[in-house]
């Protein structure tokens, strides 16, 4: 079975400081990994994905994520956070080693960036 | 390019009733997935449709059913509504079917309240 854990319910940072949102995953095969962001009363917006290749993935709005196979992690990072980055962030995984086509999401991490 | 749209935005039903939610996929996308997002939780996969057939299902009972039409739009039907069905229902479209690694694009969701 595939699963995602986001160990922090909330992350608080000051504007201009680095932002990290943690994600670990569990799959039986190899993972496809995704990050999405959700603003209040909105659907999820795609930020970035890891399929294969370079472990450092760059995405939208200055976000990047690093895939670490040995630690089964895919942490989301932004070098300098903005107040407008305040939102709910979801990590998701799909196990490409099975015929289970579903995308499994973590419980989400609320990011608050203070001015 | 038109994004994913869902209707209605909000819906209030009573226990035992039936509901139909609708989704129009993004232009060029042929795969639709449905998710249930309860308050304070991550989205849970309900099922996916590709070429008008269900090709993946999460842990939801048979009273959750769906359709995909030739224009790739989709419906989610829920029979015999229960209080626990109250949630935000998200539709996501993508291209390439179940085995694709393409990211999913989400609609704004339908907020269902069951009284």
Q: Per-residue pLDDT tens, chain B, 115 aa: give them.
A: 569 999 999 999 999 999 999 999 998 888 999 999 999 899 999 999 988 999 889 999 999 999 999 999 999 999 999 999 999 999 999 887 766 778 899 999 999 999 9
pLDDT digits (tens, 9 = 90+) for A92-114: 999 887 766 788 999 999 999 99
Find how far residue B109's CA is from the centre of its chain.
Answer: 8
Q: Which residue of B has its CA nearest to A98?
A: B99
Q: Which residue of B has its CA nearest to A51?
A: B101
User: What are the structure tokens assigned to B84, written together?
Assistant: 């626990």
HSE-up of residue B62 (Cα within 13 Å, Cβ side)? 0
Residues 67-106, chain A, touching B (beta carbon < 8 A): 90, 92, 94, 96, 100-106
Distance CA B115, CA B112 (A): 10
B45 touches chain A (CB under 8 A): yes
Region A82-96 average pLDDT? 94
Distance CA B16, CA B115 (A): 10
Q: Residue B106 and residue A102: Cβ atoms within 8 Å?
A: no
A44 touches chain B (CB under 8 A): yes
Q: Which residue of B has its CA nearest to A48?
A: B103
Question: Which residues on adjacent β-strands are paired with residue B74?
Answer: B23, B68
């Amino acid at each position: 079975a595939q699963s995602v854990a986001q160990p922090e319910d909330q992350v608080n940072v000051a504007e201009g400081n680095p932002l990290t949102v943690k994600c670990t995953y569990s799959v039986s095969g190899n993972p496809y990994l995704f990050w999405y962001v959700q603003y209040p009363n909105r659907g999820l917006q795609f930020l970035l994905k890891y399929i294969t290749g370079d472990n450092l993935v760059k995405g939208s709005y200055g976000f990047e994520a690093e895939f670490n196979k040995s630690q089964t992690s895919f942490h989301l990072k932004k070098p300098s956070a903005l107040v407008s980055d305040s939102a709910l962030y979801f990590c998701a995984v799909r196990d490409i080693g099975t015929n289970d086509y579903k995308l499994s999401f973590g419980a989400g991490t609320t990011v608050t960036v203070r001015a | 390019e038109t994004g994913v749209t869902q209707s209605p935005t909000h819906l209030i039903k009573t226990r035992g009733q039936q509901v139909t939610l609708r989704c129009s996929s993004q232009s060029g996308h042929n795969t639709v997935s449905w998710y249930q997002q309860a308050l304070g939780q991550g989205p849970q996969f309900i099922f996916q449709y590709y070429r008008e057939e269900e090709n993946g299902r999460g842990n939801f009972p048979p009273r959750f059913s769906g359709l995909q039409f030739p224009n790739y739009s989709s419906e989610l039907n829920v029979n015999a509504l229960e209080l626990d069905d109250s949630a935000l229902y998200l539709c996501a479209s993508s291209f390439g079917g179940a085995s694709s690694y393409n990211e999913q694009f989400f609609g704004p969701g339908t907020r269902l309240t069951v009284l």
